[in-house]
Amino acid sequence: MITLYGIPNCDTVKRARKTLDSAGITHHFHDFRRDGLSPEQAQSWLDTLGADQLINRRGTTWRQLDSTAQAQAESAQAAQLLCDHPALIKRPVIDRGNALRVGFPAKQADEIISWLQQG
């Protein structure tokens, strides 16, 4: 089962969901804010993808954090930081069961659809 993780009002998430629906790709949408994120899940993503790929350091949420909280992104407390501030996660995170991908650039939509169909 493909799971698309994100926040429903995010434009990139909206585009990804619409594209997957149009391509006939069955998926489950997991809303970070409504459904939550466990520290174990966040840590698994950090282990697999790395903080640089997973954490959005260019967004408003990042800029609103104090320097102590920002320093957590490079520590063993990064998973908890992501659970406390799910908007820090680059979106969407796509889990096809055996592999993860972050983001959904419009110019890569066909490539992502092919990647999902391989899974």
Instruction: Find all residues with CB under 8 Å of 32, minimum gap 6, and list them.
Output: 5, 6, 7, 86, 87, 89
Q: Which residues have a catalytic role annotated?
A: 10
How does strand 93-95 pair with strand 100-102? antiparallel
What is residue 95's DSSP assignment? E
Whole-number Å distance between alpha carbons of 5 and 22: 18
